[in-house]
Every structure is written in structure tokens, then in C-alpha cells.
Amino acid sequence: MNKLDKSLLNSLSSFRRLEDDQLREVLDLARLRRVPTGKPIFEEAEDAKQFFLLLDGHVRVERLNAEGDKVISLHIPPGQLFGIARALGRDTYPASAMAAVECIVLIWPMSLWDDFAGRYEGFAAEAYKTVGQRVSEMNNQIMELATQHVEQRVARAVLRLMKQHGRNTDSGVQIAFPVTRKIISEMTGSTLHTVSRLLSRWERQRILRSAHRHIHVLDASRLEELTRQDA
């Protein structure tokens, strides 16, 4: 762990107020783990014995609804804490965290959470800010499910992924990890057939392009218009 440079943490919101010796302490208490694509980092209802920081990769957060169907609630980008059940007052993880691509994570025992929150300036505030942002995002998705037509929901889901996880390429803005049509259906409460039909239409209209499980948004303004249109 001593091989990890302190600069890995000092630019991240949860740790940027820490002094060099404090960053060294935090790193020395952590364990580094590489998680292959598609593998769970932890699973829903599992005892929350650890919390995590995503150094590289993207994490997909999944839950099972009452019918046993998978629902994807959000995606977590690099640089964020996750698995922070203690911040929610929970002893178990409320959802599963899956590696959308190969991930590198730092892991600390959950028993250190209160110590970190008390000792390290800004850690607790940033952690609870992260919780608030994620709760707000999930509430927005619930409202979308209740009030929007399927085309609006799918367009909004793709646009959200583009804004949060997009990278500019010569052929548009590419979502930084593989996104299948099944994943989008699980994000939007839509059928796989409906998502396939919509994405195929948008490809013909040159709004986006899907290749090798990656989505490139070619015309973000037209995608934005679709989020406001009634079906």
C-alpha cells in the first residue's frame, strides 16, 4: 500500500482538506482490490463490513424489486465513495455494486467510518453530500417512471449516462462503459423490445450510434428534445 501515491486522494472531494500525514494514514488503513468486469463488489442485503472508494472504472448499482426483477438505480464514476451504508444508518448494503468495467477500489473496514468522520476535516460533509445527491437522483428516476412516457424515460437515461460518464471522441460523446439494451431496459422500467425499437430508430435518425456494446451520442440536442416530447 505504501506504493500508492498520496495524490490519488488529495484531489478527491472527500480527502482534499487532509494534510499529507493524514492522507498517508488513510492509505495505510486501506486495502487495494481489482474487480473484473461484471463481478460484484458487494451484494444487496450483505452485511456492510466495508466501505469503498472507486479509483478507476465505473460501478453499476442494482436492486431487486418485489417481483424479483433487476432495477439499475445509478452508475458511480471514479473518485467517489460507495458502499457507505453507515451514512444511511444501515448495517447491510441496500443494493448491489457491480463492476461495469474493470474497477480498482480502495477498501476500508466499516469500523473506521466513525473515526474517519470525526478525525478528518470535510470527510463526513462530502460523504453525506454524496448520499444526498444519489438519493435525489433515484427520486428523480422514480418520478420519471411515474410521470413520463417510455421514450422520454429512455432518452433521459441515455442523456444522463452521457452527461455523467461521457468522453468526447471523433464520432460523438461515448459513454465510458458498455451499455447494453438490456441495461437500459432495467434502468427505465421498459421492455427490451421497446428499448431496442427506440435505439434502432434513433440510430437511423443519426441521434446516436451503438457499436460493440458502446453508445455514442451524435446529437445531444435532439436527444434532449426527446426528453420533453409527449409520445
Q: Is the pLDDT reported for residue 113 higher than 90?
A: yes
Q: Is the pLDDT of residue 2 over 70?
A: no
CA distance 97 to 63: 9
**What was the pLDDT predicted at 146?**
74
Tens-digit pLDDT profile for residues 17-47: 888 899 999 999 999 999 999 999 999 999 9
In sequence order, the 6+-apart residues with CB closer than 8 A to the CB of 138 are 73, 74
Does 118 score more than 50 pLDDT? Answer: yes
Mean pLDDT computed over 176-188:
92
CB neighbours of 154 closer than 8 A, spacing ≥ 6? 184, 188, 190, 194, 195, 198, 199
| CATH code of domain 7-145 | 2.60.120.10
61 neighbors 96 (Cβ within 8 angstroms): yes
Q: Which segments of the chain are extended strands (E)?
A: 31-35, 40-42, 50-56, 59-64, 70-76, 81-82, 96-99, 103-109, 166-169, 172-175, 208-211, 214-217
Residue 159, pLDDT above cutoff 90: yes
pLDDT score of 73: 85
Taking 60 as the threshold, does the pLDDT of residue 231 lie above it? no
Rounded Cα distance between 57 and 47, Å, is 24
Average of per-residue pLDDT across 140-145: 79
Task: Find the mean pLDDT for residues 116-126.
Answer: 90
CATH number, domain 149-228: 1.10.10.10
> What pLDDT sits at residue 230?
59
Query: What does the alpha-carbon distance between residue 213 and residue 66 come to, in Å, rounded to a whole number?
Result: 29
**pLDDT at 55 (0 to 100):** 94
The domain segmentation of the chain, as residue ranges, is: 7-145, 149-228
pLDDT tier for residue 7 given thresholds of 50, 70 and 90: confident
Residue 3 has what pLDDT? 63
> pTM, whole model, 2 decimals?
0.84
Helix pair 181-188, 150-165: axis angle to 10 deg: 110
Using the predicted structure, report yes or no on whether residue 201 has a pLDDT greater than 50.
Answer: yes
Question: Which residues, in sequence order, are bridge partners of residue 42?
Answer: 97
